[in-house]
Amino acid sequence: MALIVQKYGGTSVGSPERIKAVADRVIRWVNRGNDVVVVVSAMSGETNRMVSLINDIDPEGSAREKDMILSTGEQVTIGLLSMALQSKGQDARSYTGGQVKILTDAVHTKARIRRIDDTPIRNDLNKGRVVVVAGFQGMDEYGDITTLGRGGSDTTAVALAVALKADECQIYTDVDGVYTTDPRMVADARHIPVLGLEEMLEMASQGSKVLQIRAVEFAYKYDMPIRVLSSFDDDEKPKSTLVTHEDGVMEDVLVRGIAFNRDEAQLTIAGVPDQPGIAYQILGPVADANIEVDMILQNVGRDGLTDFTFTVHRNDLEAASKLLEGVASKLEASQCKWDDKIAKVAIVGAGMRSHAGVASKMFKVLADEGINIRLVSTSEIKVAVVVDEKYVELAVRVLHDAFGLSETMA
C-alpha cells in the first residue's frame, strides 16, 4: 500500500463536472490500494475574479487582507471535491491550510512553509478517508491566513508529500508530462518518461511551465519523486513523467530538453568605471527593490571603463529601468539602455557534466542559422543563451534537432 499526494490545478477542477471527474480518478487510486491526499487549486477563473474585486477597492491594499480574500478560492474547491467523493461513496474530509496546520512565515502573498503537522491527516487516512487540502495557503504563527504566491499549490503538494513521507507526489495538469521541448513549438518533441530532479529544476528555471520551480526546489531538497500526469487522460495506464533522484535515470542522454521563455528583459549600462564594487553599486538598488535578477554579464574592461548587462522579469522592467537611470547618472555612465524583445533558450541535461563541447556545439548550431547570441549563462547541467525574440522558434527547433531529441530519432 502506497501513500500518494495528488495535486489538481485550476483547469482540472474548473467546473462541477471536472470536479466529479477528479473524484472518479481519486477513487480509482484508492481502489488500487493507495492512501490518497489531494491538494487542489481554486477553480479556474476564480482567482482572477477576486483579484479584480481587490483591484476595484485598492490594488496597493494590505497583503494580509489580500490573503484573506484569495485563500477562499481553494476553500470552495476542497468542499466541493470532498462532497463529490462522498456522494460516490468515498469517505473524505476537507481542510484549509490553517486547519491542517501548514505553518508559514508571516510574509503575506508569498509566504514560505515552515512546518506541517501531519497528525490530523494521518488520523483521517487511518480511518479510510481521502484527505482534501487547500493548496496555495497556510497560516502564520499569529493565526493569520497566508498564501504562498506563484506555484503555491504545487508547493503545498510537495511539502505535504515530504511531511507525510509519501511514496510519490503526483501533479495533475493539462499535459501528460515533460517533453524535450514545448510540443506546441516543435511538433515532434518527445515525451520524457523519467527525468532527474536536478534536470527538472533547470528546465523549470529556464522556462518550462510544466512544474513550478519552487515546488521542484522543494522536491529536490527533500528528494521527493514527482510524477506529472494529465487530468484529461482517462487511460488506465496513463502517460506520465516521473521526476526523481537522478541515479539510474541518467544513462547516456547528453541533452535532456530545450527550455525557453519570453518573460525576461535585458538592461545594459555602458561606460562605467571598471573598479571593485561596481556590480554592487549597479545591482544593489535593484535588489533593494525586491526585483529578481536572472542573468548577469560584466564585460572585460577597456580604458578603465566596462559595460554591465543583466536580465529581469518583463513585469519589473519599468521599475528596474528607472533605478538604472538613477545609477547611470550617479556613475556618469556613457549609456543606459534596455530591451524586452529578447528570449532565453537553454539546453538542459545532467549528461553534459561529463561531456565537453556541448556549449560549443550549441553556439555553432545557432551561428549556422545566423542567430546572434547576446548573453550566455552556464551551469553544470545547462547552457542558456539570450537571443532576439524573433529567433526563438528557430533556435529551439534547430537545437532540438541537433541534439537528437526529435521523436523520429528516439
| Residue spans of alpha helices (H) in 265-391 | 278-288, 317-331, 358-368
Tell me if 305 sits within 8 A of 269, measured CB to CB. no
Q: Which residue has the cell 555602458?
A: 270
DSSP string, 158-188: HHHHHHTT-SEEEEEESSSSEESS-TTT-TT
Q: Which distant-in-sequence residues (6+ apart) come within 8 Å of 153 by Cβ?
A: 7, 9, 39, 40, 41, 74, 135, 136
User: 78 vs 189, which CB is nearer to its own copies?
Assistant: 78
Candidate residues 27, 36, 39, 66; the one interacting with its own copies per rule CB under 8 A: 66
Nearest to 181 by CA among 151, 205, 209: 209
Strand partners, 4: 36, 168
x/- map, 108-147, its own copies, by CB under 8 A: -----------------------------------xxx--
Confirm or reject binding of residue 394 to its own copies (CB under 8 A): no
Q: Which residue has the cell 462541477?
A: 16
Cα 260 to Cα 191: distance, rounded to the nearest angstrom = 17
User: 99 vs 379, which CB is nearer to its own copies?
Assistant: 99
Candidate residues 11, 44, 99, 321; the one interacting with its own copies per rule CB under 8 A: 99
Residues 12-31 that bind its own copies (CB under 8 A): 16, 19-20
Total site size for its own copies, rule CB under 8 A? 36
User: 125 vs 333, which CB is nearer to its own copies?
Assistant: 125
Confirm or reject binding of residue 149 to its own copies (CB under 8 A): no
Residues 32-61 that bind its own copies (CB under 8 A): 50, 53-54, 56-58, 60-61
Q: Which distant-in-sequence residues (6+ apart) come within 8 Å of 404 by Cβ?
A: 255
Candidate residues 3, 51, 68, 103; the one interacting with its own copies per rule CB under 8 A: 68
Rounded to a whole number of angstroms, the minimum distance from the CB of residue 125 to its own copies is 17
Confirm or reject binding of residue 72 to its own copies (CB under 8 A): yes
* Dihedral sign, Cα of residue 229, residue 245, residue 410, residue 202: positive
**How many other β-carbons are positioned within 10 Å of the β-carbon of residue 329?**
10
User: 52 vs 354, which CB is nearer to its own copies?
Assistant: 52
Binding-site residue ranges for ATP: 7-10, 173-174, 179, 184, 209-210
Binding-site residue ranges: 7-10, 47, 74, 173-174, 179, 184, 209-210
**Contacts with its own copies, residue ranges (CB under 8 A):** 16, 19-20, 50, 53-54, 56-58, 60-62, 64-66, 68-69, 71-72, 75-76, 78-80, 82-84, 86-87, 93-94, 96, 99, 143-145
